Amino acid sequence: MGVTSTSTRAHEWQMALVSPILHSTISLHSAQYLKMQNSMYKPLKFSIIVLVLPALFYLTFPLSANSKNTNQHQPVDDGFLLGSGRADITGPAFGIAMWGFGYDGQVTEGIHQRLHSRAFIIAEPNSQQRLLFVSADIGSIEHNITLEVIDRLKSVYGELYTLQNVILSATHTHSGPTGYWHSRSDGGLSGAFYQEHFESIVSGIVQSVKTAHNNLQTGSLFINSGDVENAGINRSRIAYEQNPAAERAKYSFNTEKKMTLLKFTNKMGAFAMLNWFAVHPTSMTYYNRLISGDHKGYAAREFERLTGDMQFVGAFAQSTPGDVTANLNLDNTGPGVDDFDSTKIIGTRQLEVALSLFETANEKIRGSIDYRQIYVNLANYSISDEFTAAGPQITCPSAYGYSFAGGSSEDGAGHFLFEEGMTEQSFILDFLVKITTGSESYSEKTQVCQHPKPILWETGTGSPPLQSQIRSVSIIRIGQLAILALPTEVTTMAARRLKNTVMSKLGGWAKHIVIAGYSNGYAGYVTTPEEYRLQQYEGGHTLHGQWSLPAYQQIAAQLAQALQTGTPIASQVNYDDWRGKSKSMPLAISSPSSLPKGKFFGEALPLQKTKYVKEELVKVQFWSSNPTSSYPNVNSFIEVRYLQNGQWITIANDADWSTKIHWSAEEQGFIAEISWQIPDAPDSGQYKIIHSGRYTDGNGNQVDFNGASGVIQIE
């Protein structure tokens, strides 16, 4: 079959190198639980968690009493207007390079979990002041996504949602397809751009916001925080230890264990949950080929499912996991026996704490909503001594270091020619990079500025530069909570410095602070200057040089000051909007879908066996089509149905953890293999698996199909 993977056909070496760049460019109501309707999924384990954990947490983390309203602005005593919404943003499921590792040949071959956009609106009831926060199950938010979402919201809601009060934050899953970044060159640095993928992410996010907007109701917001144990480990400890001993002595751990959680309630009860916790979603490693939200996606889906409320929106948003991996063995494995097991374990550790914090949240958010946002050009941003402690300094045009290509060895490493900690420019390596990628030589000025980072690629000079140098940074106040939103991956100590900077500028009202990383753009990593000097992976990927953190501290301080004093802040630069300027690669395969003679789309191959017991894995194969050719029009490729009182009812679909679908391109057509993990307490009886999809007929029309497996008997 002429199945071409449009994303991998280019220069493989290039892709291998550019890979992690894909990073860049290239790129609970206890009662409710107990009322779970579906007997298949009675969460015994979680009932125990619900009952035991809160008690445990009261002991471990005494909750502070309701904080006094220290708000100097207009107080909001009658609560907020609150809304939440969720929508699908699953990318093309076959043949598209996956975002994050940039591992050669890591292209999508199916779906384990669907990806979602989860939107939350918090609004003052009697003013225009509001925050829109979106947590999206993708690797990164390109700033053009933010611009497009805001434009579309403007056309419906006018000036309610603007750059000032909208935060789109990625969970940073490494198991979603890439190709939604606007490419600025034909070279590998920018990778492929698929307009259809960009469009479906944008429209999914907008849909989740519209649902949230339409659901706005008066309600109360509660905040809680507590530690998550054994869900992350520092992967660049030697870099962390470059930070001053006196500073390190202030903290018990070299990762941030705190989860901060918001509980949304209205007169009907709790209806949404949003939390932030810092750990890399790399439990699914680069060997994985199935779309997955990783541990954050798992935890979110499980939290929602456990409420028994289909409308409940629960997000596990990302924070500052720059140097924090979920691979607890520090060798791209652990703590589980395989990727799926590890994902579930790390997800469950976050889920259990979230359930407990949610159940016990009693500190009400009181006070006003306010925000400040600014664009800055980080190619040459001047920073004062207050933030550098080394005299006035300047940031550099963006550049990747050798250790970027080396990758993080604890999360699987990158190209064999490179490794973490490289600080010497090599003539031979430069030559190899140039002949294999065709990249321009770096400028000496940028190399000096970026010292001691040996330059792999310079992306911040030229007209236009290969990557936008304009970064969007925001600060938001919701009552006693401050949220700093940054377009970066911030390391643990860098995050602490940023939080301290912001809190030092804010008044007594600020009791809580979270950093929402991966927000409104993607600008690589941010280490401390001390960590940078060691050029571990994170330092090699700190795009604007060693003064990147002090620059963000200065920007955050200005925003916090403006917020505190009620003064406006204006950007000196505009964003170099790249929408409509990138050449889109064809995503859809327009040739007719093929099948062997006598077969039909959705035809199930004979079952290997028909009788199963609990916890067994059912596998069924179907004749299928390339799912990318019908992207994004199929909402669910899988349904598991159970015969109840003479009717077939759906008990699981392709968003569920228990199901997986994997496509393979065979000689005469596509085979979809669907697997379903039977739960540990299934109802005995008859089940079947349905496969749906779309194919392209000889006239180029798209035609829906579905087919059913034979009957599966569970004893």
Residues near Zn ion (CB under 5 A) are 489
Q: Count of alpha carbons within 13 Å of 697, Cβ hemisphere only? A: 7
Spatial neighbors of 290 by CB under 8 A, at least 6 apart, are: 108, 109, 110, 111, 112, 175, 284, 660, 662
C-alpha–C-alpha distance, residues 495 and 516, integer Å: 10
C-alpha–C-alpha distance, residues 393 and 382, integer Å: 6
Min dist CB 411 to Zn ion, Å, is 8
Min dist CB 408 to Zn ion, Å, is 8
Is 294 or 656 the residue whose CB approaches Zn ion more closely?
Answer: 294
Helix, strand or coil, per DSSP, at residue 234: strand
Report whether 248 contacts 207 (CB < 8 A). Answer: no
Is 109 or 489 the residue whose CB approaches Zn ion more closely?
Answer: 489
- Residue number, nearest CB to Zn ion: 489
For residue 319, give the nearest of 517, 538, 546, 155 by alpha carbon. Answer: 517
Is 489 or 639 the residue whose CB approaches Zn ion more closely?
Answer: 489
C-alpha–C-alpha distance, residues 670 and 621, integer Å: 10
For 602-605, the CB contacts below 8 A with 24+ separation are 602/691, 602/692, 602/693, 602/705, 602/706, 602/707, 603/707, 604/689, 604/691, 604/707, 604/708, 604/709, 604/710, 605/671
Phi, psi of 15 (to 5 degrees): -65, -40
Phi, psi of 553 (to 5 degrees): -65, -45
Min dist CB 494 to Zn ion, Å, is 14
Is 147 or 523 the residue whose CB approaches Zn ion more closely?
Answer: 523
Is 104 or 489 the residue whose CB approaches Zn ion more closely?
Answer: 489
Is 359 or 489 the residue whose CB approaches Zn ion more closely?
Answer: 489
> Chain-centre distance of CA 359, in angstroms?
25
Min dist CB 321 to Zn ion, Å, is 7
C-alpha–C-alpha distance, residues 202 and 179, integer Å: 13
Question: Which ranges constitute the DSSP H helices of 627-672?
Answer: none
* Backbone CA torsion sign across 307, 310, 311, 313: positive
Is 420 or 489 the residue whose CB approaches Zn ion more closely?
Answer: 489
Report whether 97 contacts 191 (CB < 8 A). Answer: yes
C-alpha–C-alpha distance, residues 532 and 545, integer Å: 8
Q: Helix 339-360 to helix 44-60 angle, to the nearest 10 degrees? A: 60
Report whether 179 contacts 611 (CB < 8 A). Answer: no
Amino acid at 344: K
DSSP β-bridge partners for residue 275: 261, 316
Min dist CB 518 to Zn ion, Å, is 8
Min dist CB 189 to Zn ion, Å, is 18
Is 170 or 551 the residue whose CB approaches Zn ion more closely?
Answer: 170
Min dist CB 280 to Zn ion, Å, is 6
Min dist CB 536 to Zn ion, Å, is 13
Min dist CB 262 to Zn ion, Å, is 24
For residue 63, the 8-state DSSP code is P
C-alpha–C-alpha distance, residues 512 and 129, integer Å: 20
Q: Using CB atoms within 10 A of its CB, is residue 613 exposed (0-12), middle (13-18) or buried (19+)?
A: exposed
In degrees, rounded to 5, the angle at the alpha carbon of residue 346 between the alpha carbons of residues 344 and 349 is 105
Is 458 or 489 the residue whose CB approaches Zn ion more closely?
Answer: 489
- In the chain, how long is the greatest CA-to-CA distance? 78
Length of the chain: 715
C-alpha–C-alpha distance, residues 80 and 422, integer Å: 51
Amino acid at 343: T
Report whether 139 contacts 172 (CB < 8 A). Answer: yes
Min dist CB 172 to Zn ion, Å, is 6
Min dist CB 653 to Zn ion, Å, is 29
Min dist CB 175 to Zn ion, Å, is 13
Is 408 or 461 the residue whose CB approaches Zn ion more closely?
Answer: 408
Min dist CB 634 to Zn ion, Å, is 30
Amino acid at 54: P
Is 171 or 200 the residue whose CB approaches Zn ion more closely?
Answer: 171
Min dist CB 350 to Zn ion, Å, is 17
Q: What DSSP letter does each residue of 183-201 carry, written as one string? A: PSSSSGGG----HHHHHHH
Is 140 or 373 the residue whose CB approaches Zn ion more closely?
Answer: 140
Provide the terminal-to-terminal Cα distance of the chain, rounded to the nearest Å.
41
Report whether 113 contacts 305 (CB < 8 A). Answer: no
Is 21 or 589 the residue whose CB approaches Zn ion more closely?
Answer: 21
* Backbone CA torsion sign across 343, 346, 352, 354: negative
Min dist CB 20 to Zn ion, Å, is 8
Is 145 or 690 the residue whose CB approaches Zn ion more closely?
Answer: 145
Report whether 399 contacts 154 (CB < 8 A). Answer: no
Min dist CB 17 to Zn ion, Å, is 17
Min dist CB 282 to Zn ion, Å, is 7
Is 320 or 388 the residue whose CB approaches Zn ion more closely?
Answer: 320
For residue 495, give the nearest of 258, 284, 682 by alpha carbon. Answer: 258
Is 370 or 489 the residue whose CB approaches Zn ion more closely?
Answer: 489
Tokens of 66: 């309701």
Tokens of 643: 């015969």
Tokens of 182: 């606007």
Is 235 or 364 the residue whose CB approaches Zn ion more closely?
Answer: 235
Min dist CB 489 to Zn ion, Å, is 5
